Structure 1
Amino acid sequence: GVVLYINEDIFEKAGKTPPATWDDLRQLAIQLTTKDDQGVVTQSGVALGRTENVDHWQEILGLMMLQNGVSMGNPTGKLAEDALTFFAIFSAVDGVWDVSLPPSTVAFSSGKLAMYFGPSWRAFEIKAQNPGLKFKTVSVPQLPKGNIKEQDVTYATYWAEGVWERSKNKEAAWEFLKFISSRESLEKMYQNAARLRLFGEPYPRVDMAELLTTDKVLGSLVAQAPFAQSWYLASRTFDGPTGINSQINKYFEDAVNAVNARTTAAKALETVAAGVQQVLSQYGLSAQ
């Protein structure tokens, strides 16, 4: 799942605390962005608003839309327009991020980015690029709640293990999957991996969540897990140009670029909605 990475040094120096809502994040991003005399961003508050250099923009935009109650199979109307406009606003209006900056993972690793959205595994890359960087993750921002019983909404994509239906060794394969997903096996694999890197593979079992709650990177991931939703808007699926994720990503990418070029969100989303419905129908899926 996507979490919010925090540069602890930048936050401590500015006397700030991580944002709880998107409005908090926007104000923080403006306050934590610095520019030189020519208006060039030298430190960005957050990497949002573009598709060219915001890693995992797909999950971030999907998160915003699902939190706002958007029907992803037919992303039209005010709720979808507001989510798309808000994503783009960080570049198009606030100027805290622009196309000239390096990829967001690189920017965060270099210490020039205060807040960065990414999955937990990016922590390995960040640590390798800058071993001295002080960072942690927190849960993603939420919209203000009208009802205290209203649940949070977070976003996750998944890697899943499976067995080929025509395998000659199906029974043995399923037994092996059951073995490696047992509590004992997962603990051993985690401990072995943690000897070589920051942490092991996050436990996929609900009954093991408490083992990771205090981890600086995985704690927020565990806290978010019960509220995670997902959809076909996902990065790094490597499913090729005709794959469902790649096709859907392209429609939303074009929409973000259109809004940054001053096309209205309503107009941009008309094309997205038509394209998404066409792609889903190719795969025999309903837009509902």
Structure 2
Amino acid sequence: MRIEKNVGERRGREYSDSKKNRRRQRMVNPVQKLYDTCKEVFANCGPAVVPSAEKIERLKAVLDTMGEADVGLRPNMPYFKSSSYDRPPKITYLHLHECEKFSIGIFCLPPSAVIPLHDHPGMTVFSKLLFGDMHIKSYDWVDNVPAEPTPTANPLDYGLGDSTGLRLAKVKMNTEFRAPCKTSILYPADGGNMHCFTARTACAVLDVLGPPYCDPEGRHCQYYNDFPLANISVPDEQKGEYAWLKEREKPEDLTVVGALYKGPKMVK
């Protein structure tokens, strides 16, 4: 009987502990869950090291369920309004976390704001549109160029000077997104490592980068111009799927300002 009593007591404690764990899980806010998941997903990763497919899906599943309320945002906040003198509108970045393994942040874009075409060297990037309508265009590099890079227009028209330094890229995505929608993922060598965001309406994008940008380690943000191509051995109907890209300096009219994140906190 003593054994049975101990078993009953142990089962009672296990049941009580199980209830407490379930209650604790329910109390964890989505931002905390995102942070905890990122710690696990990127724990053994580094530059150009992609998490396993199972870990990718685990993080994507967390992000897929998140919306503006989970991070304390509302579409009527000042971040999402442009002043009459803003040409183009300034973008606000809310910093949540950064370490050597990953970073978490939110881009707040007023209508018509643009994050120009840029890359993510050695990174795996998750982008979740929290609210609003946005157009995303992304490219991957084409390694085997089947023809000489001859632009359809005079490169001077694009401020490029000449065709030196052009590199062929293939369109990976050219799509309109409307929240709620699934998370977009890009990888170090594919998935659209160079992308551009254009806000159709006020919108917010939650970004997770693993690892984050780091100039001393060679992971700096490079911007690009893209323009049509004329001479490449593909059928005419595929011409729009390619473009020549050339590195450029950070656009002078790009204004990104930092602001204090005031949403639900995370315990690190």
- Richer in strand (by share): 2
- Richer in helix (by share): 1
- TM class by smaller structure: under 0.3
Greater Rg, structure 1 or structure 2?
A: 2
Q: TM-score, normalised by structure 2?
A: 0.24
